[in-house]
């Protein structure tokens, strides 16, 4: 997961701490190019396409969004049914826990990922859903055996994880004194001390978007200064001796993450003049790409099946974690939503009925009625692969569906945790935002989930949004975020921030670590997220037109 524009998002290799980019509107002849090259598309095409879209969907008073209130009123009962249904079962948590517990890490190129995808696909089919696979070639980085030890002034095993895309240590350990630095600037000042040393970046967490630069660029910076390896303090706001994985940019020296505690230990030793020496051994290597797949599950629209509301999360995880929060939750609510509460499986339905047994018959009847819900345009859930170390799933989706981009109303990603929903983060035109605010006001006000804020997006939908599709992400708040004394992150929160920020969320306590397991998650919060996202998706799919678009911005890398 990654980092958004303010910049406070979760992100991976392609982190989203991004500057403005014109949102491009898809043209029929568009061929999506390489991940970092959207230039296959010429300016004149953009201009013409923008004109066309703007004529098609601009929100002129009285048309077509003049009917907005009428439409929202017409789906009020449907939405109530969705919220009741999605809120009344713990099926999402049970599915998530089963996948995490049974298949373990779902790293690209591993059998764990493929078995998990097979399982989810089979369960979706048992639910009677329309599910298809779309092939994706994914990178295959293999960690191999690895270890780090402090060998002087005392012996101590350092908890570590090699960073994705790192090279190994060449079949033998690297034994070298360390140089601890606090920043790239600090390394520049001490450049003449770096030669032959393992450079340790002991950089405190500020925000994911800012601090992750050391994980990405630490190895190359160490190599440029003459260092023989890089050890990077884990990018987390809180630590219990847990190393956190992630990718590094390609570099000529190996790189690994160590814990906050051990980075501080080495820094203290250096300050005292104890000259710590570390032994680092890594067998990491990059093998040829292998084939995996995105899973696409959808309900065709009743009136405009060619127009799409897309939403998703990623099914893959790092290799050292069961990936419950990142992003099992996002993937599972995608599954849950794919039938927006409409086609719960028999088991799910029975579970729901049991939960609702003490409720009124009317509730159950409305729920049963909701099984027949079919939105006006197609709603499509995507379980992306390879978000963590390549974003190939998001890239491939944009390539495969390039011809649909001018008919895709919005792309919504859930990859910031499935804590208490707060609303939607959105990147698009002010007209589109106003419509979303009306939807939130109509259906989610009472629950406090209606807020539309800036900086929507995420790794998986980035490539779709870069082609002109309005971009959003499910906004969540972690109740562990607070100014209370029990919040270990409160001291790193930027001054003057009104509400807790994503950067200080407990999301990053567990992110990319072995501690990201289902016990950290709340079944109730998962259901709230499902209810909230289902509401947004269903309402957007029920509008007269796709969301207006025009010159908007996403944050490319």
Q: Is 212 in the site for Zn ion (CB under 5 A)?
A: no
Which lies closer to Zn ion via its Cβ, residue 10 or residue 339?
A: 10
Least separation in angstroms between residue 2's CB and Zn ion is: 7
* Binding to Zn ion, residues 1-30 (CB under 5 A): 1
Least separation in angstroms between residue 287's CB and Zn ion is: 23
387 catalytic, yes or no?
yes
- Transcribe 527-545 into DSSP letters: HHHHHHHHHHHHHHHTSSS
Least separation in angstroms between residue 120's CB and Zn ion is: 17
Least separation in angstroms between residue 247's CB and Zn ion is: 12
Q: Which two tokens stand for residue 410?
A: 């919005």
Which lies closer to Zn ion via its Cβ, residue 327 or residue 363?
A: 327
* Binding to Zn ion, residues 415-434 (CB under 5 A): 415
Instruction: Return the half-sphere exposure (C-beta side, CA atoms, 13 A cut-off) of residue 306.
Output: 4
Which lies closer to Zn ion via its Cβ, residue 87 or residue 517?
A: 517
Which lies closer to Zn ion via its Cβ, residue 109 or residue 313?
A: 313
Q: Are 297 and 335 in contact (CB under 8 A)?
A: yes
Peptide bond into 153 cis (omega under 30): yes
Which lies closer to Zn ion via its Cβ, residue 1 or residue 452?
A: 1
Closest to 338 measured CA to CA, from 97, 526, 130, 525: 130
* CA 434 vs CA 284, 309, 437, 548: distances in Å: 49, 18, 5, 10
Range in contact with Zn ion (rule: CB under 5 A) among 18-26, 321-329, 340-348, 434-442: 321-329
Least separation in angstroms between residue 98's CB and Zn ion is: 20
Q: Which of 322, 326, 481, 516 binds Zn ion (CB under 5 A)?
A: 326
Q: Which two tokens stand for residue 38?
A: 């959207």
Range in contact with Zn ion (rule: CB under 5 A) among 299-307, 318-326, 343-351, 417-425: 318-326
Least separation in angstroms between residue 459's CB and Zn ion is: 7
Going by the DSSP 8-state scheme, the letter that residue 327 receives in this structure is I
Number of Cβ atoms within 10 Å of the Cβ of 192: 8
Least separation in angstroms between residue 156's CB and Zn ion is: 32
Which lies closer to Zn ion via its Cβ, residue 327 or residue 478?
A: 327
* Binding to Zn ion, residues 391-420 (CB under 5 A): 415
Q: Which two tokens stand for residue 55?
A: 């004529």
Range in contact with Zn ion (rule: CB under 5 A) among 75-83, 324-332, 339-347, 528-536: 324-332
Closest to 375 measured CA to CA, from 105, 130, 89, 71: 71
Going by the DSSP 8-state scheme, the letter that residue 267 receives in this structure is H
Which lies closer to Zn ion via its Cβ, residue 113 or residue 349?
A: 113
Which residue has its beta carbon closest to Zn ion? 1
Number of Cβ atoms within 10 Å of the Cβ of 346: 10
Range in contact with Zn ion (rule: CB under 5 A) among 115-123, 283-291, 325-333, 539-547: 325-333
Residue for token pair 């405009």:
304
Size of the site for Zn ion (CB under 5 A): 4
For the chain, the first-to-last Cα distance in angstroms comes to: 14
Backbone angles phi, psi at 367, to 5 degrees: -65, -45
Q: Which residues are registered as beta bridge partners of 200?
A: 180, 231
Distance of CA 154 to the CA centre of its chain: 40
- Cβ-proximal residues to 42 (8 Å cutoff; 6+ apart), any chain: none
Catalytic residue among 298, 387, 388, 413: 387
Q: Which of 78, 298, 327, 336 binds Zn ion (CB under 5 A)?
A: 327
Q: Which two tokens stand for residue 310?
A: 């897309």
What is residue 410's three-state secondary structure?
strand
Range in contact with Zn ion (rule: CB under 5 A) among 157-165, 258-266, 320-328, 522-530: 320-328
Residues tagged active-site: 387
Question: What residues make contact with Zn ion under the rule CB under 5 A?
Answer: 1, 326-327, 415
């Amino acid at each position: 997961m990654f980092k958004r524009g303010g910049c406070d998002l979760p992100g991976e290799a392609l982190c989203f701490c991004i500057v403005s980019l014109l949102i491009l509107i898809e043209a029929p002849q568009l061929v999506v190019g390489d991940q970092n090259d959207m230039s296959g598309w010429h300016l004149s095409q953009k201009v013409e396409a923008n004109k066309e879209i703007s004529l098609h969907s601009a929100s002129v008073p009285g048309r077509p969004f003049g009917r907005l209130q009428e439409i929202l009123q017409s789906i009020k009962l449907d939405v109530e049914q969705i919220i009741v249904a999605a809120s009344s079962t713990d099926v999402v948590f049970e599915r998530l826990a089963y996948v995490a517990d049974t298949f373990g890490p779902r790293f690209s190129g591993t059998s764990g990922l493929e078995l998990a995808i097979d399982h989810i696909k089979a369960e979706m089919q048992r639910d009677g859903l329309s599910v298809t696979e779309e092939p994706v070639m994914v990178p295959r980085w293999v960690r191999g055996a690895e270890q780090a030890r402090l060998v002087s002034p005392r012996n101590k095993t350092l908890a570590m994880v090699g960073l994705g895309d790192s090279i190994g240590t060449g079949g033998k350990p690297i034994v070298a004194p360390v140089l601890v630095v606090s920043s790239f600037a600090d390394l520049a000042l001490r450049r003449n001390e770096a030669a032959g040393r393992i450079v340790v970046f002991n950089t405190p967490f500020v925000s994911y978007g800012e601090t992750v630069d050391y994980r990405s660029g630490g190895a190359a910076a160490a190599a440029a200064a003459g260092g023989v390896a890089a050890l990077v303090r884990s990018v987390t706001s809180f630590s219990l001796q847990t190393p956190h994985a992630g990718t590094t940019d390609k570099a000529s020296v190996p790189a690994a993450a160590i814990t906050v505690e051990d980075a501080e230990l080495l820094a203290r030793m250096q300050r005292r003049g104890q000259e710590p020496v570390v032994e680092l051994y890594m067998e990491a290597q990059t093998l040829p790409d292998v084939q995996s797949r995105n899973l696409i599950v959808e309900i065709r629209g009743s009136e405009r099946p060619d127009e799409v509301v897309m939403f998703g999360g990623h099914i893959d995880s790092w290799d050292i974690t069961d990936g419950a929060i990142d992003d099992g939750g996002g993937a599972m609510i995608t599954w849950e939503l794919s039938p927006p509460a409409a086609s719960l499986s028999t088991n799910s339905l029975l579970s729901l009925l049991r939960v609702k047994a003490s409720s009124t018959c009317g509730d159950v009847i409305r729920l049963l009625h909701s099984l027949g819900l079919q939105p006006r345009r197609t709603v499509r859930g995507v379980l992306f692969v390879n978000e963590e170390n390549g974003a190939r799933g998001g890239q491939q989706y944009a390539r495969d569906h390039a011809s649909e981009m001018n008919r895709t109303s919005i792309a919504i990603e859930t990859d910031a945790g499935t804590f208490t929903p707060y609303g939607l983060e959105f990147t698009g035109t002010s007209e589109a935002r106003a419509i979303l605010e009306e939807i939130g006001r109509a259906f989610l006000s009472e629950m406090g989930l209606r807020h539309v804020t800036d900086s929507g997006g995420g790794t998986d939908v980035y490539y779709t949004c870069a082609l002109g599709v309005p971009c959003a992400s499910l906004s969540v708040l972690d109740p562990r975020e607070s100014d209370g004394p029990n919040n270990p992150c409160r001291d790193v929160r930027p001054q003057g921030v009104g509400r807790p920020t994503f950067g200080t969320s407990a999301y990053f306590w567990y992110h990319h670590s072995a501690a990201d397991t289902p016990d950290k998650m709340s079944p109730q919060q998962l259901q709230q997220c499902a209810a909230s996202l289902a509401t947004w998706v269903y309402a957007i799919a029920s509008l007269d037109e796709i969301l207006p678009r025009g010159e908007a911005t996403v944050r490319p890398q």
